[in-house]
């Protein structure tokens, strides 16, 4: 697959005297997204996902660096670049007093559609997002999930080659979330390149061909799910749910043979080790001796959460 | 790109059209308020407030009777009258008339030569009140005061007509302690007959002459209808331009910017939509207010018959209103800030600009009001309706409104360019 999106040395700071929100290192943010892939940008809130997408979609002017989409530079030929992309923002960016059909019509015209093409494309999109029967109801009367579907539909009106989906499942019920994830897969099967940002690792794991983990405005890991989890090695993660963590417990656990890292967060202790079976009884013994009440123990296989933890020392959901 | 400009403009218009609250606010509220104000204040002799009237007194008479007017109005004015009238002597009739025409005085009282001689001889005579029809309240006050002085002469004159040498001798001649019912009836019939004759005859008449040389009724709806229409138009324009901030907050603006649509197309579309909304609002109110007046039996001649003049004022006042709304939105950071700022600024401008009271009756406002679009708009419409103003006459109003529009737009667009950078 060839690179459809090329990001080179991208940096952004909002305030001349402030820090860089994206690309804090001199090299800036560098990334390639291949045509036809689902690429997920995974990171906690405030990591720089939306800022990156905003620069890619011409909403923000980069402080430095370059983004090209389908060969069009977003800074030198923004109109050319914008014709390649459909943007689905995190917010429900719709006119609530208009119907779904009217919203699709309006934004379709903004994408340059007109006449019969606009009519037929509106009908296709309404069908695709499953709102054909409610097409003429005002958006303000829709449920959260239905609004999300229209929000996605607007970004599809002009059949973009690349679609940006910025946290599209935030604040919706599990059923609607499932529907959106299936929609993303379907779009990709039809040949659309997808840039998906999320802070839910399960979504990134399920959808992505490749994943970029972003933190503090820089990509700290990049690859397929297998490549990323391999970074953590054959580590096991043992999670202890406790009532308290007295001083000294963390160092005693870290001193056990085979333990690579111990992370304490409020009433949780996470121990990264080569063999969970070897340390489990000793760890429980340490906790009991220190007067800790143990509520539960969970042994986890390596996943993106573990990767993030391994790379940053923090949990992804923080 | 032009089709996108129209699409964005239509989007704004359509969303106003389907918003019942906005329609109520834009059309029914100004219609109702201007109608109520017009009905409450009536027509020419409406008493909105009691401002001081500047009256010039030109006394060509050499006798005592002319001097009585001068004393009452200028030299020895009773305190309660002095609160209403500021009299000043003038030497020349033409100069006094010019002052009235220029608006330097509200009215001029002209007392003719041989006025005293004619009164002493019992001959009928007249004083002339020369006034500006636009100054109706001041004129009404002046007229009332002059009428008070004049009626003293006229009552005496009427009494002499009826009773000859006076009431006492009249009654003693006809009636005594033992008067019969027939005698009383005869006296009553005689008095009635003489009163009827006396009513039709006044010793001193007041000739009311306006600057156009003829008497004229002033319909106060001609003032309050445009005043309210402009007030509510400016609020609608502020709400319309504030919608740009709302779109930014709701992310529809950002979504439009991510489509192949340049930022100037968005701005042009929103402003054209907003301007069209304001123009239609004014147009509908201009058509609807006379119809409402007809229905309630009031004077339906509110806007005059200089349609081109009305159109010019409308086009320019809406431009200034749109620019002002955009300026307020451009200077505000949030929707809430813009809402609060527009409420304060627009009401203040309306008060200063004469939307609630005729500013030429309040000396301080008379000058300050010229800084507001309300003043230039209201006076443009009012002159067209009540003064038969020509297109040339309203050109200053149109010019000032256009200039305000251009200045507001210039500053606002510069500010808004920063709002469109995310």
SS3 B259: coil
Backbone phi, then psi, for A45, in 5-degree steps? -60, 135
- A contacts of B259 (beta carbons < 8 Å): 82, 107, 110-112
Q: Are B67 and B205 contained in the same domain? A: yes
Same-domain pairing of B170 and B315: no
Q: What residue in A sits closest to B9 (Cα-Cα)?
A: A106
- Residue B320: per-residue pLDDT: 93
CA torsion sign for B13, B18, B22, B25 is positive
Nearest chain A residue to B17, by CA: A97
Residues 94-113 of A with CB under 8 A from B: 94-95, 97-98, 106-107, 109-112
Q: What is the pLDDT of residues A90-123, one digit of tens each?
A: 889 999 999 999 999 999 999 988 889 999 999 9
Radius of gyration (C-alpha) of chain B in whole angstroms: 29
Query: Is pLDDT at B193 greater than 80 in this prediction?
Result: no
pLDDT at A1: 60
Residues A188-235: pLDDT tens digits? 998 899 999 888 888 888 888 998 888 888 888 888 888 887 776 667
The pLDDT confidence band at residue B211, using thresholds 50, 70 and 90, is: low
Residue of chain B minimizing CA distance to A74: B258
The reply to whether B39 and B164 lie within a common domain is: no
Range of the domain at B109: 53-210
Residues B112 and B237 in one domain: no
- State what percent of residues in chain B have pLDDT above 90: 12
**Contact with chain A for residue B421, Cβ under 8 A:** yes
Counted across chains A and B, CB pairs separated by less than 8 A come out at 59
Q: Do B225 and B172 belong to one domain?
A: no
Together in a domain, B257 and B390: yes
Among B194, B210, B226, identify where a domain stops.
B210
Same domain, B260 and B122: no
Residue A303 is predicted with a pLDDT of 75
Do B201 and B74 lie in one domain? The reply is yes
* Across A189-203, A275-289, B46-60, B228-242, least confident range: B46-60
Average of per-residue pLDDT across A123-145: 89
Which one, of A90, A213, A206, lies nearest residue A155 by Cα?
A90
Task: Report the first-to-last Cα separation within chain B, whole angstroms.
Answer: 22
Note whether A97 contacts B15, CB cutoff 8 Å: yes
**pLDDT tens digits, residue range B255-280?**
998 899 888 888 889 889 989 989 98
- Inter-chain residue contact B252 with A110, CB threshold 8 Å: no
- In this prediction, residue B49 has a pLDDT band, given cuts at 50, 70 and 90, of very low
Output the pLDDT for position A67: 92
Q: How many residues does chain A have?
A: 318
CB contact under 8 A, B252 and A109: no
B11 close to A (CB below 8 A): yes
> Residues A304, A211: contact at Cβ < 8 Å?
yes
Q: Is the pLDDT of residue B214 over 50?
A: no
Residue A299 contacts residue A276 (beta carbons within 8 Å):
yes
CA distance A183 to chain B (A): 21
Tell me whether B3 touches chain A (CB under 8 Å).
Answer: yes
Whether B164 and B100 share a structural domain: yes
Q: Can you point out the beta strands (E) in B96-242?
A: 107-111, 125-131, 204-210
The alpha carbon of B234 is separated from its chain's Cα centroid by a whole number of angstroms, namely 19
**Final residue of a structural domain among B210, B230, B247:** B210
Read off the pLDDT of residues B357-415 as tens digits, 9 standing for 90 and up: 777 667 777 778 889 999 999 989 988 887 677 888 899 999 999 999 999 888 887 77
Residues in chain A with CB shorter than 8 Å from the CB of B15 are 95, 97-98
Does the distance separating the beta carbons of B15 and A109 come in below 8 Å?
no
- Among A130, A144, A50, which residue's Cα sits nearest to residue A94? A144
B32 and B88 assigned to the same domain: no
List chain B residues with CB under 8 Å of A54: 422
DSSP B128: E
Contact at CB, B259 and A111, closer than 8 angstroms: yes
Mutate to test the interface with A, among B9, B255, B265 (most CBs of A within 10 A): B255
Q: Which of B151, B175, B210 is where one domain is finished?
A: B210
- For the stretch B139-156, pLDDT in tens is 777 777 788 778 777 777
pLDDT of residue B317: 94
The mean-pLDDT minimum among A19-28, A227-236, B116-125, B279-288 falls in A227-236
**CB pair distance less than 8 Å for A59 and B254:** yes
Q: Does B257 touch chain A (CB under 8 A)?
A: yes
What is the overall mean pLDDT for chain B?
A: 79
pLDDT at B398: 94
Does position B212 have pLDDT exceeding 60, yes or no? no
pLDDT at B160 over 80: no
DSSP string, chain A: --EEEEEEEEEB-SSTTS--SB--STT-EEEEEETT-EEEEE--TTSSHHHHHHHHTTSS--SEEEEEETTEETTTSHHHHHHHEEEE-SS--S-TTSBHHHHHHHHHHHTT--HHHHHHHHHHHHHHTT-STTTTSBGGGS-HHHHHHHHHHHHHTT--SEEEEESTTTT--HHHHHHHHHHHHHHHHTT-EEEEEES-HHHHHHH-SEEEEEETTEEEEEE-HHHHHHHTTT-EEEEEEES---TTHHHHHHTSTTEEEEEEETTEEEEEES-HHHHHHHHHHHHHHTTPPEEEEEEE---HHHHHHHHHSS-TT-
Q: Do A54 and B422 touch (CB under 8 A)?
A: yes
How many domains, chain B? 2
The answer to whether B125 and B118 have CB atoms below 8 angstroms apart is: yes
Does the beta-carbon distance from B255 to A97 stay under 8 Å?
A: no
Regarding predicted confidence, which is higher, B297 or B304?
B304
Angle between helices B29-41 and B263-295 (to 10 degrees): 40
pLDDT at B134: 62
Same-domain status, B198 and B323? no
Identify the CATH number of the domain in which residue B87 sits: 3.40.1710
- pLDDT category of residue B215 using cuts at 50, 70 and 90: very low
Q: Are residues B311 and B275 in the same domain?
A: yes
- State residue B227 phi and psi, 5-degree precision: -60, -45
């Amino acid at each position: 697959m060839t690179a459809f999106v090329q990001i080179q040395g991208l940096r952004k700071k909002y305030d001349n005297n402030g820090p860089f929100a994206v690309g804090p290192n001199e090299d800036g943010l560098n990334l390639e997204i291949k045509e036809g892939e689902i690429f997920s940008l995974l990171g906690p809130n405030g990591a720089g996902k939306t800022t990156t997408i905003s620069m890619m979609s011409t909403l923000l002017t980069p402080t430095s660096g370059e983004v090209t989409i389908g060969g069009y530079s977003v800074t030198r030929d923004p109109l050319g670049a914008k014709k390649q992309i459909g943007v689905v923002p995190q917010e429900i960016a719709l006119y609530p007093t208009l119907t779904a059909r009217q919203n699709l019509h309006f934004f379709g015209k903004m994408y340059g559609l007109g006449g019969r093409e606009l009519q037929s494309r509106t009908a296709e999109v309404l069908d695709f997002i499953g709102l054909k029967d409610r097409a003429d109801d005002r958006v303000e009367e829709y449920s959260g999930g239905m609004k999300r579907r229209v929000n996605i539909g607007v970004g599809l009106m002009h059949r973009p080659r690349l679609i940006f989906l910025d946290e599209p499942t935030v604040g919706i019920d599990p059923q609607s979330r499932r529907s959106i994830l299936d929609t993303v897969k379907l779009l990709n099967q039809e040949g659309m390149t997808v840039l998906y940002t999320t802070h839910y690792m399960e979504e990134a794991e399920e959808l992505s061909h490749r994943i970029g983990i972003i933190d503090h405005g820089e990509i700290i890991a990049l690859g397929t799910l297998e490549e990323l989890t391999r970074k953590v090695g054959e580590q096991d993660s043992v999670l202890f749910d406790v009532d308290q963590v007295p001083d000294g417990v963390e160092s005693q656990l870290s001193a056990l043979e085979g333990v690579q890292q111990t992370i304490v967060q409020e009433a949780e202790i996470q121990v990264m080790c080569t063999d969970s079976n070897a340390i489990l009884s000793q760890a429980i013994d340490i906790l009991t001796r220190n007067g800790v009440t143990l509520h539960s123990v969970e042994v986890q296989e390596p996943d993106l959460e573990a990767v993030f933890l391994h790379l940053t020392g923090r949990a992804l959901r923080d | 790109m032009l089709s996108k400009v129209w699409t964005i403009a239509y989007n704004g218009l359509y969303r106003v059209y389907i918003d019942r609250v906005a329609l109520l606010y834009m059309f029914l509220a100004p219609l109702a308020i201007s109608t109520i104000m017009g009905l409450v204040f009536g027509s020419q002799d409406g008493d909105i407030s009691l401002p001081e009237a500047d009256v010039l007194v030109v006394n060509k008479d050499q006798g005592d009777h002319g001097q009585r007017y001068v004393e009452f109005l200028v030299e020895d004015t009773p305190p309660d009258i002095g609160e209403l009238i500021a009299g000043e002597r003038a030497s020349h009739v033409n100069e006094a008339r010019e002052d009235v025409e220029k608006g330097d005085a509200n009215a001029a009282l002209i007392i003719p030569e041989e006025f005293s001689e004619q009164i002493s001889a019992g001959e009928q005579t007249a004083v002339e009140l020369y006034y500006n029809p636009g100054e109706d309240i001041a004129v009404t006050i002046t007229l009332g005061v002059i009428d008070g002085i004049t009626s003293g002469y006229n009552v005496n004159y009427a009494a002499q007509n009826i009773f000859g040498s006076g009431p006492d001798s009249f009654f003693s001649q006809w009636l005594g302690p033992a008067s019969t019912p027939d005698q009383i009836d005869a006296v009553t019939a005689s008095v009635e007959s003489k009163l009827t004759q006396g009513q039709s005859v006044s010793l001193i008449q007041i000739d009311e002459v306006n600057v156009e040389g003829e008497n004229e009724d002033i319909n106060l709806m001609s003032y309050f209808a445009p005043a309210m229409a402009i007030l509510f138009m400016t609020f609608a324009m502020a709400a319309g331009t504030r919608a740009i901030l709302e779109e930014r907050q709701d992310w529809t603006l950002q979504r439009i910017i991510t489509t192949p649509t340049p930022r100037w197309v968005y701005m042009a579309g929103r402003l054209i939509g907003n301007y069209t909304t304001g123009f239609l609002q004014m147009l509908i109110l201009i058509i609807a207010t006379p119809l409402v007046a007809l229905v309630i039996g009031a004077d339906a001649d509110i806007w005059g018959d200089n349609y081109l003049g009305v159109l010019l004022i409308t086009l320019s006042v809406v431009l200034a209103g749109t620019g002002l709304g955009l300026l307020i939105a451009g200077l505000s950071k949030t929707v809430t800030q813009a809402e609060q700022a527009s409420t304060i600024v627009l009401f203040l401008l309306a008060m200063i600009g004469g939307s609630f009271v005729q500013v030429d009756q309040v000396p301080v406002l008379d000058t300050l009001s010229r800084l507001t679009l309300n003043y230039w708009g209201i006076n443009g419409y009012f002159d067209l309706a009540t003064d038969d103003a020509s297109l040339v006459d309203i050109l200053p109003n149109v010019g000032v409104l256009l200039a305000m529009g251009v200045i507001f737009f210039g500053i606002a667009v510069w500010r808004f360019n920063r709002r469109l950078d995310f």
